[in-house]
Amino acid sequence: MSESMLQTVKDYDDARPGIPGEHWLVLGAGLAAWLVTRRHRSMMVRTLGLMAGTALVGRAASGRDGISKALRYLPVGGGIRRY
């Protein structure tokens, strides 16, 4: 994925209005990805499910601004700023 395409997706995500309960929906999708793929025969499917589930649960936990929003309030995250 090119840098400009990634920036376009980020810009779209920042500009759109939030959906009430969006983080709960994303959390549910992440947990579903884990549960659906955890007993699959293929190691590749299990790995991809784990990766997708982890990314979605992380997104639900950190919100739309990412984990940097939460880390700014910790002593080690004082130098973090949003780009």
pLDDT one-digit tens code per residue, 7-58: 888 788 778 777 778 888 989 999 999 999 999 999 999 999 999 999 898 8
Q: Tell if the pTM clears 0.75, that is, is over it.
A: no
CA 69, CA 38: separation in Å to the nearest integer?
31
DSSP percent split of the chain into helix, strand, coil, nearest 5: 70, 0, 30
pLDDT tops 60 at residue 82: no
Which tokens belong to 2? 């090119």
Task: Tell me which of 1 and 38 has the higher pLDDT.
Answer: 38
Q: Are 74 and 62 in contact (CB under 8 A)?
A: no
